[in-house]
Structure 1
Amino acid sequence: MSTDEPQRPAPTPLVTWAPGTPDGPALICLPWAGASAVVFRTWADAFPEDVGVYGVRLPGRENRMAEPALTDVAEIIAEVREAVAGLPHRRVALFGHCSGALVAFELARELGPSVVHLAVASQLPPPQAAQAADEELVSREQLARRYLDQDLLAEPDIVELLLPVLEADMRAISKYRYREGPLRDVPLTVFRGTADDEIALDDVVGWHAQTTGHARIRELAGADHLFSGPSWTGLAESVAEDLDAALHR
């Protein structure tokens, strides 16, 4: 009799919040630096039943905490791309928040014609984003204030647990090098909160040059950089509206 322990399946970076149907698109949601799939748990309610809603959980967080965090955008893209390839959906939409926006953009390049919509929030256009990330790595305190919830900042032990993952994510973005060339015919929506005191409206205009498809900027009234509180639900509903418009354009 074998004494070998049963092999556990390798952790997947995709967490299913709504399975959708094969005929409907898969929405792949990439969180901001230091965050994980759980932030998108409530988003399924904003989308039709045929849309599959998936949050991305990278190594170093939640049930993947024992795995070393990835510090290269190419490695992150490769892991997520492989998982997306295993989904039953023929069409893919992508949403990326802050640092996740850059990963979503580059993932859209990799996935090609299957991508029906790209939505990004609270991020500079790709050519400028790496330099900004490099500047933020100078101060751990600044990183924590920008990317961690105010309630978490009051818990020093939790902050110390999250900071290594946050720094790894930002290190990956700081090493990112933009490749010239827009996405081909991919509808793009860029979201910004009107109460975002870190990224101005003029800062995101350059996203228009990143696709040959329809592009628009949407500002959500009262939303801050992380779209905290009710703004998070409003963001989900707005992404759902634009995805529907892209599918029927």
Structure 2
Amino acid sequence: MRERTDDAWFTNWRNAADQVGQITLVCLPHAGAGASVYARWATLLPPWIDLVGITLPGRESRISESPLTSMDEVISRLGPAVSARVQEPFALFGHSLGALIGYELACWLGTRCSAARPELLVVSGRAAPHRAGRRSGIHELDDDALLTALHERYGGIPEALLGNLELREVFLPALRGDMSILERYRFGRRLPAGTDLLVLGASDDPTTTASELHAWSELTRGSTTVTILSDGGHFYTQTRPRQVTEVIVDELVTRTTPW
């Protein structure tokens, strides 16, 4: 299916007249989700941060498009769109699958587009890619087994989706495509020089360990800050949005003057 214009990738929750931000925060969602998972953040962030959410094909406003199934596809399309849309200074945030996409996007921007490089990369709820274990092929399972496996691994799968065939037809293609991106991903490069990292996690997230989170520091020659929340599960960015945004704001404060 033919892809829409580059603007389809982006959602901004502030009117043009209100966009007084001195830094843009570009947010990449977890598997199966779109930009709307960050809508609540717009009320939690100060006005000097311009919040921009990313929606991949196959969900939300792009539901009519075919989902992407590999990291190469994502970066080859998203990279040029971000470099054309976002001006410095900006930061990238990604949770779970979004953390890997954010990592590869930062690598792409650092090597292909000297005019648009992130001030900070924030990776959340994901083990460092060079430390991740072997993938299990969840994306190849039938619908029932796919949903069961995801619910067991990550939690947070709505009961309505587990038992509603109509909802499955809407949401499963994007979710399966995203799991294909994750499970087919192979680590191959480190961040460009000068890229700083903020690594976030939750102590009760069953998908990561403290060691796997701290291992992100091995992928950059810039600075690395690791913050692990006491609870919140894998989806702590939704269950504890105020605490998460406060950590991000504190890190961005050191990189720009909001007055």
TM-score, reference length from structure 1:
0.85
Displacement after TM superposition at 1:165 (Å): 1.0
The 8 Å contact of residues 201 and 229 in structure 2, kept in 1 or not, is answered as yes
| Cα separation, partners in 2 of 1:78 and 1:46, compared to 1, 3 Å | farther
Partner of residue 234, structure 1: 243
Please tell me whether residue 162 in structure 1 is matched to residue 171 in structure 2. yes
| Cα separation, partners in 2 of 1:201 and 1:151, compared to 1, 3 Å | same
Partner of residue 142, structure 1: 149
Amino acid at match of 1:210: L
TM-score, reference length from structure 2:
0.82
Of residues 11, 16, 31, the one that matches 1:15 is 11
| Cα separation, partners in 2 of 1:88 and 1:199, compared to 1, 3 Å | closer
Partner of residue 124, structure 2: 121
Displacement after TM superposition at 1:230 (Å): 4.1
Displacement after TM superposition at 1:243 (Å): 2.0
Once the two structures are superposed, residues 25-54 of structure 1 have per-residue CA deviations (whole angstroms, 9 ceiling, x without a partner) of 221100010011000011122333232211
Distance in 2 of aligned mates of 1:74 and 1:9 = 19
Identify which range, 89-98 or 10-19, moves more after superposition.
Answer: 10-19
The 8 Å contact of residues 127 and 209 in structure 2, kept in 1 or not, is answered as no
Please tell me whether residue 73 in structure 1 is matched to residue 103 in structure 2. no
Distance in 2 of aligned mates of 1:202 and 1:159 = 36
Partner of residue 3, structure 1: none
Question: Percent of counterpart pairs with the same letter?
Answer: 27
What is the RMSD computed on CA atoms of the aligned residues?
A: 2.5
SS of 1:219's partner is: strand
The 8 Å contact of residues 150 and 157 in structure 2, kept in 1 or not, is answered as no
Displacement after TM superposition at 1:198 (Å): 2.6
Please tell me whether residue 224 in structure 1 is matched to residue 202 in structure 2. no
Partner of residue 30, structure 1: 28
Of residues 178, 183, 207, the one that matches 2:187 is 178
Amino acid at match of 1:13: W
Displacement after TM superposition at 1:122 (Å): 0.7
The 8 Å contact of residues 187 and 246 in structure 1, kept in 2 or not, is answered as no
Amino acid at match of 1:56: I
Distance in 1 of aligned mates of 2:191 and 2:80 = 23
Aligned positions, number: 240
SS of 1:167's partner is: helix
Identify which range, 175-184 or 90-99, moves more after superposition.
Answer: 175-184
